[in-house]
Amino acid sequence: MLPPKLAKMMINLSTVSPLSKGGLRGVLLDPFCGSGTILMQAALLGYQNAIGSDLSPKAMADTKQNLAFLTKSLPQLSTLNYQLSTLDATKLSTTHKPNSIDAIVTEPFLGPPLRGSEPTEAIKKIISELSTLYLRAFAEFKKILKPDGRVVIIFPILKSWPSISDQQLEQIKTLGLAPAWNVPELLRPLLTKRHSVIYSRPGQRIEREIFVFKKIK
Ligand SMILES: C[S@@+](CC[C@H](N)C(=O)[O-])C[C@H]1O[C@@H](n2cnc3c(N)ncnc32)[C@H](O)[C@@H]1O
């Protein structure tokens, strides 16, 4: 499960405040919402408008149950306006209007759990399937994000192999989404050469590589 602390950090990195400039509330989307960790943290941070979707009806039922528990436990959250639906992240633009989303904050499908004994060929196959999914999803993110909209996303590193290559990062840039960390000069050295931050514990087979992108065209 995505650690709630990391979910909260990712929402903050989106730089969308719960209340946006024009008085309208910022709209966050998690298109791989799983059991709803990011959406629940968004609710706790004061985001009134959020959208969650997932390919799995079971995941959607879990998200609904978790959010219902949260709003029942904390009456101040009873006015939440969260839209939840079962949807393939590679078809987001069939449901969401162009230029309608302020930020996408998500931990996508990270691949099957690893035992550690998988041969290199098997890892390469998983990576190829994951990167295809991510690039298709990014083509949709581009359509539905507002100008300057952001994507805060985790790409897994499987046994030291990044799931997105440098070349694929360039493809994402060509699509119109460029790396956009808003970090003070002093903290720049914390970023990798790929403009990412690695979040992992020693011995983990799957590490998390966090990226922030901004829609530039
Ligand atoms: C790593 S989980 C997300 C976990 C979530 N951050 C949480 O903590 O509950 C990834 C989710 O992606 C979903 N998924 C896989 N392929 C998808 C697709 N094409 N479109 C949307 N969701 C998909 C899976 O059903 C799974 O719930």
- Per-residue pLDDT tens digits for 4-15: 999 999 999 998
For residue 216, is pLDDT > 80?
Answer: yes
Closest ligand 1 atom to Cα of 56: 25
Residue 98: pLDDT band (50, 70, 90) is very high
For residue 21, is pLDDT > 60?
Answer: no
- The structure's pTM equals 0.95
Contacts of 39 by beta carbon, 8 Å cutoff, 6+ apart: 30, 33, 50, 52, 63, 67, 82
Residue closest by Cα to atom 25 of ligand 1:
56
Could you tell me the two tokens for 141? 């993110």
Length of the chain: 217
DSSP state of 207: E
The pLDDT of residue 188 is 84
Q: φ and ψ at 18, to 5 degrees? A: -55, -30
- With beta carbons less than 8 A apart as the criterion, state whether 36 and 65 touch: no
For residue 139, is pLDDT > 70?
Answer: yes
The larger pLDDT score, comparing residue 23 to residue 52, is at 52
Mode of pairing for the β-strands spanning 177-179 and 206-215: antiparallel
CA neighbor of 96 nearest in space, from 59, 149, 157, 134 = 149
Beta carbon of 56 within 6 Å of any ligand 1 atom? yes
Closest ligand 1 atom to Cα of 108: 10
Distance CA 163, CA 10 (A): 19
For residue 24, is pLDDT > 80?
Answer: no
73: exposed, middle or buried (C-beta count within 10 Å: 0-12, 13-18, 19+)? Answer: exposed
Q: Identify the three-state secondary structure at position 128.
A: helix
Q: Could you tell me the distance, in angstroms and rounded to a whole number, from the CA of residue 73 to the centre of ligand 1?
A: 26
Give residue limits of the domains in the chain.
Answer: 25-87, 114-217
Distance CA 142, CA 150 (A): 10
Closest ligand 1 atom to Cα of 109: 10
Q: Could you tell me the distance, in angstroms and rounded to a whole number, from the CA of residue 35 to the centre of ligand 1?
A: 8
For residue 25, is pLDDT > 70?
Answer: no
CATH class, domain 25-87, is alpha beta
The larger pLDDT score, comparing residue 79 to residue 31, is at 31
Distance CA 25, CA 203 (A): 41
Could you tell me the two tokens for 19? 């209340």
DSSP state of 197: E
Residue closest by Cα to atom 3 of ligand 1:
34
For residue 46, is pLDDT > 60?
Answer: yes
Residue 3: pLDDT band (50, 70, 90) is very high
Beta carbon of 34 within 6 Å of any ligand 1 atom? yes
Average pLDDT of span 143-155: 96
Residue 72: pLDDT band (50, 70, 90) is very high
45: exposed, middle or buried (C-beta count within 10 Å: 0-12, 13-18, 19+)? Answer: middle
Q: CA 180, 183, 188, 190: dihedral to nearest 10 degrees?
A: -100
Q: Could you tell me the distance, in angstroms and rounded to a whole number, from the CA of residue 13 to the centre of ligand 1?
A: 20
- With beta carbons less than 8 A apart as the criterion, state whether 71 and 77 touch: yes
